[in-house]
Amino acid sequence: MDPQQAAKAERQWRAQQDQRKEQIEAVKAEQQRMQAMQQQQMAQYQEQYIAQQREVLPDIIPEWRDTKVRQRETGELRNFLLQEGFSAEDISGLANATLVKLARKAMLYDQGQTRATQAKAKPKPKSKTLKAGSRGSQPKPKGARVQALQRAQSGRVSDAAAAIKNLL
């Protein structure tokens, strides 16, 4: 091969290599642009989904229509989920309203179980045993009307007349 042809072939080869590099860089730039567009689109879809779920949340959990209740319970729910082993990222990524409802139910169930356990653990007040003839064991005085009706059951006409008289 002649040296001029070799130099010409080398220049052509280098030009082709440069052209390929430019094409590869153009393809990479286009891929990055497409990925950025997809990420932007996904972020928009995510924001729309979260907004939709926030609108649905008061319908799924009617108690949360009151903002004070919602704020109080969301704080309690966050603490409950953290205690149960969820990470802060997991909790902040919780976007589905139905999952929020389930988590709230679990929290309320757990609170109910805790209250039931505490109620069982409290000692019951002991009732005092009354001795025979003490004031607590004596019958309470009855009204005149009730006494007259009880006497009417004795079978005497005078007691029945007194009961009727008290009723009028």
Helix H, strand E, coil C: the string for 133-152 is: CCHHHCCCCCCHHHHHHHHH
* Distant-in-sequence, close-in-space partners of 61: CB < 8 Å, separation ≥ 6: 100, 101, 104
Q: Could you read off the pLDDT tens digit of each residue along the chain, which spans 168 residues?
A: 688 888 899 999 999 999 999 999 999 999 999 999 999 999 999 999 999 999 999 999 999 999 999 999 999 999 999 999 999 999 988 889 999 999 999 999 999 988 888 888 877 767 667 676 666 655 655 677 777 777 778 778 888 887 787 777
Pseudo-torsion of CA 58, 64, 70, 75, nearest 10°? -80
Tokens linked to 46: 């995510």
Give this prediction's pTM. 0.54
Name the residue type at position 67. T
Tokens 């860089």 belong to 25
Length of the chain: 168
Tokens linked to 28: 């990479």
Pseudo-torsion of CA 78, 81, 86, 88, nearest 10°? 10
* Dihedral sign from CA coordinates of 107, 109, 111, 113: negative
